[in-house]
């Protein structure tokens, strides 16, 4: 399913809202949460309906629902893993959107050929699919992750302290930060740039862990 970054944010927010509250948000609630106009939301929702991601009943309020067969590229990979076992590492990754943010790779294997599958491919015994996101912002600058870079992400729902994660926040926003579980049980999402404040939340949804960074000059 080919969604633009804004369509992806709206789709994920609607899906999260339905999962946590049992009903869909209104157009105004989507606009207020994502910081856009109601007209913008309406246009993207219409596109999502045309693409088969959403279903709408015009005779009901809060009528948006997720299409039965709607799935994002990384979720399709998940289903392939479940049905067929490990899948081969591709030379290209699905670009599923942009991520709000930010160790440079010092050396590669001493080989005449740079093999992406060796750098970013699943480790032995790992079956999790991979996907890519383009970084939008500078909050991970001091980790060597810059605006416009591409991060290669292993799809996971858990993370260890110090890992760089893609996290879905309770307000529907998605961010790239370093994950820390505090002693009081809260989660600290730490930027790598002193101009940005840490994000402290009671909970968040881990969508993946960064395994590499790619940059084109």
Are 62 and 88 in a shared domain? no
- Is residue 73 assigned to a domain? no
Q: What is the DSSP letter of 52?
A: T
Of 15, 32, 66, the residue at which a domain comes to its end is 66
Residue 50 three-state SS: helix
Are 91 and 60 in a shared domain? no
- DSSP state letters, 172-208: S-EEEEEEEE-TTS-EEEE-SSTTSPPEEES--EEEE
Q: What is the pLDDT of residue 109?
A: 36
Are 98 and 204 in a shared domain? yes
- Is residue 93 assigned to a domain? yes
Of 66, 101, 118, the residue at which a domain comes to its end is 66
How far is the C-alpha of 201 from the C-alpha of 217, rounded, in Å? 36
Which ranges of the chain have pLDDT less than 70? 1-2, 58-61, 69-127
Q: What is the pLDDT of residue 79?
A: 45
Q: Crossing angle, helix 5-21 and helix 38-50, to 10 degrees?
A: 90
Give the CA-trace dihedral at 85, 88, 92, 93, to 10 degrees: 20
Task: CATH number of the domain at 180, please.
Answer: 2.10.109.10
Are 56 and 156 in a shared domain? no
Overall pTM surpassing 0.95 (yes/no): no
Are 110 and 137 in a shared domain? yes
Structural domain span for residue 178: 84-214
Are 160 and 103 in a shared domain? yes
HEC profile of 85-99 = CCCCCCCCCCEEEEE
Residue 114 three-state SS: coil
Q: What is the pLDDT of residue 83?
A: 42
How far is the C-alpha of 209 from the C-alpha of 207, rounded, in Å? 7
Catalytic residue among 6, 21, 60, 139: 139
Catalytic residue among 51, 107, 177, 181: 177
Tokens of 14: 């609607």
Q: What is the pLDDT of residue 161?
A: 95
139 in catalytic set = yes
Are 91 and 189 in a shared domain? yes
Task: CATH number of the domain at 13, please.
Answer: 1.10.10.10
61 in catalytic set = no
Q: What is the pLDDT of residue 85?
A: 41
Are 107 and 138 in a shared domain? yes
- Is residue 76 assigned to a domain? no
Are 59 and 129 in a shared domain? no
Are 143 and 197 in a shared domain? yes
Q: What is the pLDDT of residue 193?
A: 93
- Looking at every residue in the chain, the average pLDDT score rounds to 77
Are 147 and 178 in a shared domain? yes
Are 49 and 97 in a shared domain? no
The count of structural domains within the chain is 2
């Amino acid at each position: 399913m080919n969604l633009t970054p804004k369509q992806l944010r709206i789709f994920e927010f609607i899906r999260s809202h339905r999962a946590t509250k049992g009903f869909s948000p209104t157009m105004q609630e989507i606009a207020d949460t994502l910081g856009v106009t109601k007209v913008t939301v309406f246009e993207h929702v219409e596109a999502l309906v045309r693409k088969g991601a959403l279903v709408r009943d015009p005779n009901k309020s809060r009528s948006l629902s997720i299409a039965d067969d709607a799935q994002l590229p990384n979720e399709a990979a998940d289903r392939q893993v479940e049905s067929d076992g490990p899948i081969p590492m591709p030379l290209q990754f699905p670009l599923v959107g942009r991520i709000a943010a930010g160790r440079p790779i010092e050396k590669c294997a001493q080989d005449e050929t740079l093999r992406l599958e060796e750098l970013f491919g699943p480790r032995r015994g790992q079956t999790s699919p991979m996907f890519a996101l383009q970084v939008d912002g500078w909050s991970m600058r001091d980790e060597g992750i810059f605006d416009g870079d591409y991060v290669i992400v292993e799809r996971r729902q858990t993370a260890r302290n110090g890992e760089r994660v893609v996290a879905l926040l309770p307000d529907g926003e998605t961010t790239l930060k370093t994950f820390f579980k505090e002693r009081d049980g809260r989660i600290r999402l730490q930027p790598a740039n002193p101009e940005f404040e840490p994000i402290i939340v009671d909970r968040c949804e881990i969508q993946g862990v960064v395994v590499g960074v790619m940059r084109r000059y």
